[in-house]
């Protein structure tokens, strides 16, 4: 059985195997989403396949929307922002600008039309080790319901989602390059240097005078939103998801997220994490970027999240970025992909998607992996 739900109240939860995991997300995601994540205007559905229900986003144009729902956001806007921050060579910049212009044209020609299944509106979607979805049936169903939209899955990697990747490949999906992410587990063997770095971070936190708190207070969430904005939107890219205090509070209130804050007189850093499918990720994260980097606030906050993963004996998806720091603490790199299906689209749209796939996977993923 495959069913599509537009309203949360209409979802049939009978014999749903993953209700405990997805219901809190869908309760917040469905209805008035742009008031909760300011730069997302996609339609949100719940899709049922057998005894499993997943959130699903449908994007059409909306070129200013965050990369977590938009190929244009990921491959044009975010890439432009990273170009100005990380590439110093004029020659390299000129080449990448040409690639971005080409991608811009391709994605505009397909009108940025994309469906993302299993999209929880976080930077890192966490997949079960086994794919319980009938890929062929759900693809045929969605191709009929949305004949002009590509159909995709984000946040896939061989370490934790190899069964999903195998089934998607068999179903005609193609890989598109995304980013390099990092995994850590306390049971993994670490070098003496990596153990020493962890110990130093713990020691620095104890000496710092910072007070660790776990919060569930909407007023405190306003400060968390401010710190998130300073880091992810002002320092990095406004195309990152613009989470509001209300969205973060609702996710914590319904039990899907836990929030850690580090405080002096006020909150100076925070991390909001969730656990799903025996993995942990921290999409809500920020600190006071006006503080001197020598305070080590990023390292101390990260250390508290490592400690959560250590205590729970769980695999930590440490997202992308800060590769040198993460590898120095024992994290292992992994290439992340989106898998997208386009065979039902008109030939002109398929050709544009093939060009995007070539540049992001055949070229882009190899470059990203080289500089991991």
Give CA–CA dist 77/306, Å, rounded: 31
Indicate the Cα dihedral angle 292, 210, 253, 321, nearest 10°: 40
| Residues 142, 232 within the same domain | no
**Residue 218 and residue 82 share a domain:** no
User: DSSP letter at 364?
Assistant: I
Task: Give a yes or no: residue 42 inside a domain.
Answer: yes
pLDDT(295) > 70:
yes
Q: Give the whole-angstrom CA distance, residue 288 versus residue 278.
A: 31
pLDDT of residue 213: 85
Which pTM was predicted?
0.95
Answer yes or no: do 144 and 75 share one domain: yes
CA distance readout (Å), 271 to 17, 59, 252, 312, 320:
29, 28, 12, 16, 15
325 within some domain: no
Cα–Cα dist 203/217, whole Å: 29
Same-domain pairing of 210 and 170: no
Is 144's pLDDT higher than 90?
yes
24 and 138 share a domain? yes
Is there a single domain that holds both residue 22 and residue 107?
Answer: yes
Mark whether 86 and 143 lie in a shared domain. Answer: yes
Question: For residues 190 and 330, what is the distance between their CA atoms, to the nearest angstrom?
Answer: 6
Residue 148 is classified by DSSP as T
Chain segment 46-67, per-residue pLDDT in tens: 999 999 999 999 999 999 999 9
DSSP per-residue codes, 116-146: EET--SSSS----SS--S-HHHHHHHHHHH-
CA angle 126, 333, 251 (to 5 degrees): 30
Does any domain span residue 321?
A: no
Torsion sign over Cα 152, 258, 185, 303 = positive
- Count CA within 13 A, CB hemisphere, residue 324: 0
d(CA 77, CA 66): 9
Report how far apart, in Å, the C-alpha atoms of 196 and of each of 22, 40, 295, 313 are: 39, 42, 18, 20
* Residues 198 and 169 reside in one and the same domain: no
Enumerate the β-bridge partners of residue 4.
47
Same domain, 281 and 160: no
Burial class (CB in 10 A: 0-12, 13-18, 19+), 206: exposed
Percentage of residues in the chain having pLDDT higher than 90: 80
Evaluate whether residue 319 is within a structural domain: no
| Residue numbers of the domain that contains 207 | 186-313
Of the chain, the percentage scoring pLDDT greater than 70 comes to 99
Residue 85 CB neighbours (<10 A) = 10
Task: Determine, yes or no, domain membership for 328.
Answer: no
Contacts for 292-295 with beta carbons within 8 Å, 24 or more apart?
295/208
Q: Would you say residue 324 lies in a domain?
A: no
pLDDT at residue 210 is higher than 80? yes
CA distances from 117 to 6, 41, 120, 129, 326 (A): 14, 16, 9, 16, 29
In whole angstroms, give the CA distance from residue 250 to residue 216.
Answer: 9
Same domain, residue pair 21 and 62: yes
The reply to whether 262 falls in a domain is yes
Q: Are residues 12 and 134 in the same domain?
A: yes
**What is the per-residue pLDDT for 218?**
81
Q: Are residues 216 and 289 in the same domain?
A: yes
The stretches of 47-89 forming alpha helices (DSSP H) are 71-72, 78-86
Split into its structural domains, the chain has a count of 2
Edge-to-edge strand ranges of the sheet holding 267-276: 2-5, 43-49, 52-59, 114-117, 150-156, 332-341, 174-184, 315-320, 279-287, 267-276, 258-263, 211-214
Q: Cα-flanking dihedrals φ and ψ of residue 334, to 5°?
A: -150, 140
Tens digits of residue pLDDT in 225-272: 999 999 999 999 999 999 999 999 999 998 999 999 999 888 999 999
- Look up the CATH number of the domain holding residue 301: 3.40.630.30
Residue with tokens 């110093």: 88
Residue 142 CA, chain-centre distance (Å), reads 23
Residue 89 scores a pLDDT above 90:
no
């Amino acid at each position: 059985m495959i069913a599509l739900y537009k309203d949360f109240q209409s979802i049939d939860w009978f014999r749903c195997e993953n209700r405990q995991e997805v219901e809190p997300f869908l309760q917040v995601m469905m209805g008035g989403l742009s008031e909760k994540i300011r730069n997302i205007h996609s339609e949100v559905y719940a899709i049922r396949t057998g005894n499993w229900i997943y959130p699903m986003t449908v994007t059409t144009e909306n070129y200013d929307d965050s990369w977590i729902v938009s190929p244009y956001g990921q491959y044009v806007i975010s890439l432009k922002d990273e170009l100005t921050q990380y590439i110093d060579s004029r020659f390299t910049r000129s080449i990448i600008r040409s690639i971005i212009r080409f991608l811009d044209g391709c994605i505009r020609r397909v009108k940025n039309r994309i469906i993302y299944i299993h999209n929880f509106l976080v930077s890192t979607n966490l997949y079960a080790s086994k794919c319980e979805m009938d890929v062929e049936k759900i693809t045929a169903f969605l191709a009929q319901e949305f004949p002009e939209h590509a159909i995709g899955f984000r946040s896939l990697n061989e370490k934790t989602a190899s069964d999903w990747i195998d089934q998607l490949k068999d179903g005609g999906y193609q890989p598109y390059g995304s980013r390099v992410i990092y995994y850590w587990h306390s049971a993994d063997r670490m070098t003496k240097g990596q153990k020493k770095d962890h110990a130093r971070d713990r020691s620095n936190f104890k000496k710092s005078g910072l007070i660790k708190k776990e919060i569930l207070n909407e007023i405190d969430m306003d400060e968390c939103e401010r710190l998130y904005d300073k880091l992810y939107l002002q320092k990095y890219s406004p195309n990152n998801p613009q989470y509001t205090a209300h969205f973060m509070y609702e996710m914590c209130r319904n039990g899907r997220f836990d929030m850690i804050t580090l405080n002096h007189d006020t909150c100076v850093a925070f991390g909001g994490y969730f656990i799903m499918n025996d993995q942990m990720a921290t999409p809500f994260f920020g600190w006071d970027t006006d503080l001197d980097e020598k305070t080590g606030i990023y390292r101390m906050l990260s250390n508290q999240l490592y400690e959560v993963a250590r205590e729970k004996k769980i695999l930590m998806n440490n997202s992308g970025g800060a590769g040198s720091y993460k590898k120095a603490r024992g994290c292992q790199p992994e290439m992340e992909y989106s898998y997208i299906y386009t065979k039902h689209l008109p030939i002109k749209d398929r050709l544009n998607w093939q060009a995007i796939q070539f540049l992001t996977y055949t070229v882009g993923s190899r470059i990203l992996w080289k500089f991991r």
